[in-house]
Chain A
């Protein structure tokens, strides 16, 4: 029986770990690897041998503990000592101190809000398990949710659990996950597909990359439970080509899961079979849109098509298809394990559970955080994020990438959920949060995002293809101090038009950064237009041209 096999693997892995008095966990996420964490790992291993401690302490590569700005991060267990900015040269000192006091100059206190205010469900294993080792995942209860879903629940019961949990899609739009699953399960078809959208294209967002790199088995488990619930037999994970490490770890995880028998034919001795393939994106932001993503998996240009029909009924190669985001799937094993009621107790009335954010920009503790829904923006920026470097004034928080907006300081006490962010003209998005201080110009930020949307527009529908270019030109004109009030009015008119008439989400939401900055920072636009001044000193105003007009 597979459940006994899992238990056996779990206890052997645990016994193996218990043979060591100490463990040094080295982060092997993209940020830490770029700060030479692999060399740190080698140096620590060599030093343990050298000091004769290798039988008492081992070194393990793990995923991201979250505080990416302080890379390389290592943790010494069981003491829970966290060290930052570790270099290979520090290995001797760290190893020598294992049995005594922590190395003060590298220590980060863990009793601070950055760690205490977080609530980790999706990231519970990040920075704890070895992402390249399935046994480590199993030792922490991994794949138990899948086995209990397969052997103790019916597909309908799984869907009911997910529906009752109140989980909403973490890709941005916030559609009820249970409802989507239920639609796919009811659709008829010889095949059904499950797709994991890992085409994390928003600039400033790296939640999905981190989950894939730190805990790839969680995504496989979540997708397999989903496939069982909706009756799918094939899955795809569509990953950006820009994430080579995530691709490598997912592929290794799929192989290991197949070998263990928790993926593939007749999973856990039942009649249920499910396979997963990784498909690489090729650098097109529009492929985050579900119909474009499916076109890309089919080997075509990633252009969207009108909906309905929705993918739930007519998806990949015309078959019913369930599409969810990485973080959505990563929540599933927790919901099955803890039960929908426990999950639904976290968060607000309409937005349940937690959300992972990539907190970056002008903030002291930048990195990956997971917080309960309903936490305020102020708590995120000032408590968890530790405020703004050099105590500069906060200006705006950008959420939702090119589809979102900028939230000003008046709204810092807003509890975040899908609805409250929408009311502020922004969106939850996939979870990028970029803090801006007074050195950022809002016109420049709007222009930056419009340039992004203009370059990434697939060109299929005219409002988006031409509209984004026209809006970008107008913003460029404003930023150069060459615009008139008529241009500003034209920009607003275009925003509404593009929003209403574009084919897909890319075009429909492309005006959001402009609309939200116009709403909250209109004065700044007027300064550029009327007084020909950029208050933040970012835009290069062409004064000589002003005299001509």
Chain B
């Protein structure tokens, strides 16, 4: 493929995380194909994608803003809302489902008074569900701040998130 040399646009701010994003774009030669890779790097640096970030990425890769926005909203993994300080992801894969994750999710929802996909008002905890974490041998499973916990009980799950809220 012919790679055209492109120069980086001025970064949106002097936040050093933009340099990480820019490094990803540079590695891909500012090619439009790298849109998803770049959005991944924005999300891992900032935790979510906001309007400014999407605009900056779209301009840098020279793709229409509509396409960048379309991609950012199409994929489940990308989020436009900032996450809480802690994140709990409950697996809703088939093995976890028949072994009781709906009850676990319910228990956490009741305890935090939020629904799946929401963040508590004090921005402490975000509650998410996943289609399948691929840890079916350990079902029912959930991820607490990046740590996978298998053979989970509702009591244990609720206790873990409540510990976060009282920090």
- Complex Cα spacing A360 to B31, Å: 42
| Complex contact B95–A361 (CB within 8 A) | yes
Binding site for A on B (CB under 8 A): 1, 31-37, 39-40, 63, 67, 70-71, 74-78, 92-95, 97-99, 130-139, 141, 147-150
Some 13 contacts from A to B, beta carbons below 8 A apart, are: A34-B135, A34-B148, A34-B149, A201-B132, A202-B132, A203-B93, A240-B134, A242-B134, A284-B74, A360-B136, A366-B139, A432-B94, A452-B131
Q: Contact check, A360 vs B95: say whether CB atoms are below 8 A apart.
A: yes
Are A360 and B137 interface neighbours, CB within 8 A? yes
Per a CB cutoff under 8 Å, which of A280, A301, A445 touches B71? A301
Q: Are A203 and B132 in contact (CB under 8 A)?
A: yes
Residue of B nearest to A244 (CB): B146
A66 closest partner in B (C-beta): B137
Interface residues of A in 267-284 (CB under 8 A from B): 279-284
Residues in B neighbouring A69, C-beta threshold 8 A: 137-138
CB-CB < 8 A to B70: which residues of A? 301
Distance in angstroms between the alpha carbons of A452 and B134 in the assembled complex: 16
User: Quick check: B36 and A299 within 8 Å, CB to CB?
Assistant: yes
Q: Does A182 contact B (CB under 8 A)?
A: no
- Since A283-B77, A300-B67 are in contact, a sample of 13 more A-B pairs with Cβ atoms closer than 8 Å, ordered by chain A residue number, is A31-B138, A68-B138, A71-B137, A242-B77, A280-B36, A280-B40, A282-B76, A283-B76, A284-B76, A361-B139, A434-B95, A434-B98, A434-B136
Residues in B whose Cβ lies below 8 Å from that of A242: 77, 130, 132-134
> Which residue from chain A places its CB closest to the CB of B141 in the assembled complex?
A34
In the bound complex, residues from chain B placing their C-beta under 8 Å from that of A301 are 70-71, 74
Quick check: B75 and A284 within 8 Å, CB to CB? yes
Is the pair A241, B77 in contact by a Cβ cutoff of 8 Å?
yes
How many angstroms from the CA of A368 to the CA of B135 in the assembled complex?
11
Interface hub of B95, B131, B135, B150 (most chain A Cβ within 10 A): B95
Task: Select the residue from B32, B132, B150 with max chain A CB neighbours within 10 A.
Answer: B132
* Interface contact B148-A33, CB-CB below 8 Å: yes
> Are B98's CB and A361's CB within 8 A?
yes
Choose among A284, A317, A368 the residue with the greatest number of B CB atoms under 10 Å from its CB.
A284
Count A-B pairs with CB separation below 8 Å. 144
Contact of A299 among B32, B77, B97, B137 (CB under 8 A): B32
Docked-complex contact A283 and B141, CB < 8 angstroms: no
Which residue among A35, A296, A301 has the maximum number of chain B CB atoms within 10 Å of its CB?
A301
- Which single member of A202, A206, A298, A317 contacts B137 (CB below 8 Å)? A206
Docked complex Cα distance between A368 and B138 (Å): 12
Say how far A244's CB is from chain B's closest CB, in angstroms: 9
Smallest beta-carbon distance A388→chain B, Å? 12
**Residue of B76, B132, B137, B141 with most partner-chain A CB within 10 A:** B137
Residue of A whose beta carbon sits closest to that of B34? A299
B59 to chain A: closest CB distance in Å?
15
Contact at A243–B134, with CB atoms within 8 Å? yes
- Bound: A285/B40 CA distance, A: 17
Known: A299-B33, A398-B94. A30 touches B135 (CB 8 A): yes
- Asked if A401 is an interface residue, CB under 8 A from chain B, the answer is yes
Chain A positions within 8 Å of B136 at CB level: 68, 204-206, 358, 360, 366, 432, 434
A203 touches which of B31, B76, B131, B150 (Cβ 8 Å): B131
**Pairwise interchain contact B132-A280, C-beta atoms closer than 8 A:** no
**Residues on the A chain within 8 Å of B92, using CB:** 203
Residues of A bordering B, CB below 8 Å: 30-31, 33-35, 67-69, 71, 191, 200-206, 209, 240-243, 279-285, 296-302, 317, 358, 360-362, 366-368, 398, 401, 432, 434, 436, 439-440, 445, 448-449, 452, 456, 458
Given A300-B67, A361-B98; A283-B131 close (CB under 8 Å): yes
Nearest chain-B residue to A287 (Cβ)? Answer: B75
Q: Which of B75, B99, B150 lies in contact with A71, CB distance below 8 A? A: B150
Residue of B nearest to A241 (CB): B77
| A296 in contact with B93 given A283-B131, A358-B136 (CB within 8 Å) | no
Closest A-chain residue to B93, C-beta based?
A203
Which of B35, B63, B95, B134 has the most chain A CB atoms inside 10 A of its CB?
Answer: B134
- Give A209 Cβ to nearest chain B Cβ, in Å: 5
Please measure, in the bound complex, the distance between the C-alpha atom of A432 and the C-alpha atom of B93, giving whole angstroms. 11
Counting chain B CB atoms within 10 Å of each CB, which of A200, A205, A282, A398 scores highest?
A: A282
A112–B148 CA distance with the chains assembled, in angstroms:
29
Inter-chain contact A205/B132, CB cutoff 8 Å: yes
Which B residues touch A30, using CB under 8 A?
Answer: 134-135, 148
Query: Closest CB of chain A to B37's CB: distance in Å?
Result: 7
What distance in Å separates the Cβ of B19 from its nearest Cβ neighbour in chain A?
A: 20
Q: Give Cα A301 to B74, complex, Å.
A: 6
Q: How far is the CB of A65 from chain B (nearest CB, A)?
A: 11
Q: Which 3 A-B pairs have the closest CB atoms?
A: A68-B137, A283-B76, A282-B75
Are A201 and B98 in contact, CB atoms less than 8 angstroms apart?
no
Q: Is there contact, CB below 8 Å, between A300 and B71?
A: yes
A35, A243, A368 interface centre (most CB from chain B within 10 Å): A35
Residues of chain B within 8 A of A401, CB atoms compared: 94
